[in-house]
Amino acid sequence: MAAKRVPVAEILERLSHMYPDAKCALDHSSAFELLIATVLSAQCTDARVNIVTARIFPTHNRPEHFAALTPHDIGEMIRDCGLWQSKAKNIHQTCRILLDKHRGEVPATMEELIELPGVGRKTANVVLSNAFGVPAIAVDTHVLRVSNRLGLAEANTPEKTEEQLMRRIPRDLWSSAHHWIIHHGRQVCDARKPRCSECPLLAFCKFGKSAVSGSKPKEMAAAAKPREAKPTRQAKSGKPSGTGKKAGQDL
């Protein structure tokens, strides 16, 4: 678990002042569009995803639109997103399931979302938080890296990091904290070249203090590039857990 003396409240308060307008960076106008955009964002930048979705969402923004296509057709539409073949297959299967089991609507529970192909806890949490207003902490590469550097968590997997953050951060701040941490990871706490000496959180950050002092900071082995696991049966109760992950699923 994270160190008990980490000033969680102070860190969150400072982050809230640094990024008061932080929000989801994926362009969307519905829960379905957000679901598709988040699936596409695996190992792809949000900026690139927004370029692709701006091209396809005007004409393909409902499950029936994608279900009517072949995986190959979908792949041609999303080819510049990376891992396009597996993503296309997952999107096609997901849309068929939405039509067959959910009347064409995106489900609003973790249990139902993680049953969809290509959807793990990260994607489910993004959708729950941003589309349905459910408090959630989606752990992507930025959240994994920054939260562990700050000591908000001490874990080398997204599942354990999520669990620890949920314990330490008040529930009503989960969604906001998720966005604050992501923005900090993009703007200051870079994976390879963090700007520690300029960071307003330096006083709270053991990693940053080590970096500024000239010593080599210790970091969790998986912090640079996490792979979110597809939840096991136990995890479907809402508690993070998981095993391996296929290409094209939550990364």
Regarding predicted confidence, which is higher, 162 or 229?
Answer: 162
Residue 232 is assigned to a structural domain of this protein: no
Regarding predicted confidence, which is higher, 133 or 230?
Answer: 133
pLDDT band at 240 (very low <50, low <70, confident <90, very high): low
Is the predicted pLDDT of residue 251 greater than 80, yes or no? no
Catalytic annotation on 236? no
* CA–CA separation, 222 and 21 (whole Å): 29
* CATH number assigned to the domain comprising residue 199: 1.10.1670.10
User: What pLDDT is recorded for position 187?
Assistant: 96
User: What pLDDT is recorded for position 84?
Assistant: 95
* CA–CA separation, 89 and 211 (whole Å): 43
Amino acid at 134: V
**Residues 141 and 195 grouped into a single domain:** yes
Is the predicted pLDDT of residue 94 greater than 90, yes or no? yes
Is the predicted pLDDT of residue 238 greater than 70, yes or no? no
Q: Which two tokens stand for residue 247?
A: 């290409």
Range of the domain at 126: 31-132
* CATH number assigned to the domain comprising residue 69: 1.10.340.30
**Residues 39 and 113 grouped into a single domain:** yes
The residue from 140, 160, 230, 250 that is catalytic is 140
* CA–CA separation, 183 and 203 (whole Å): 19
Distances (CA, A) of 153 to 3, 32, 167, 220, 244: 8, 31, 10, 10, 22
Q: Which two tokens stand for residue 65?
A: 């639109």
Confirm if 203 and 10 have CB atoms less than 8 A apart.
Answer: no
The average pLDDT across 48-54 equals 98
195-222 residue pLDDT tens:
999 999 999 999 999 999 987 776 754 4
Instruction: Give me the chain's average pLDDT, please.
Output: 89
Domain termination residue (choose one: 88, 109, 132): 132
The residue from 122, 160, 230, 250 that is catalytic is 122
Full DSSP string of 38-54: HHHTTTS-HHHHHHHHH
118-167 residue pLDDT tens:
999 999 999 999 999 999 999 999 999 999 999 999 999 999 999 999 99
CA nearest 106: which of 168, 63, 75? 63
Catalytic annotation on 100? no
**Residues 122 and 146 grouped into a single domain:** no
In degrees, rounded to 5, the angle at the alpha carbon of residue 72 between the alpha carbons of residues 71 and 77 is 95
**Residues 116 and 82 grouped into a single domain:** yes
* CA–CA separation, 166 and 153 (whole Å): 10
For the chain, the domain total comes to: 2
User: What pLDDT is recorded for position 171?
Assistant: 97
Taking the mean position of all CA atoms in its chain, how far away is CA 13?
22
**Residues 102 and 157 grouped into a single domain:** no
Report the percentage of the chain scoring pLDDT > 90: 81
Token look-up 């089991």 returns 101
* CA–CA separation, 18 and 32 (whole Å): 30
The average pLDDT across 221-248 equals 46
**Residues 44 and 120 grouped into a single domain:** yes
User: In whole angstroms, how large is the CA radius of gyration of the chain?
Assistant: 18
The average pLDDT across 62-84 equals 96
Report the predicted TM-score, pTM, of the whole model to 2 decimal places: 0.84
pLDDT band at 243 (very low <50, low <70, confident <90, very high): very low
Is the predicted pLDDT of residue 4 greater than 80, yes or no? no
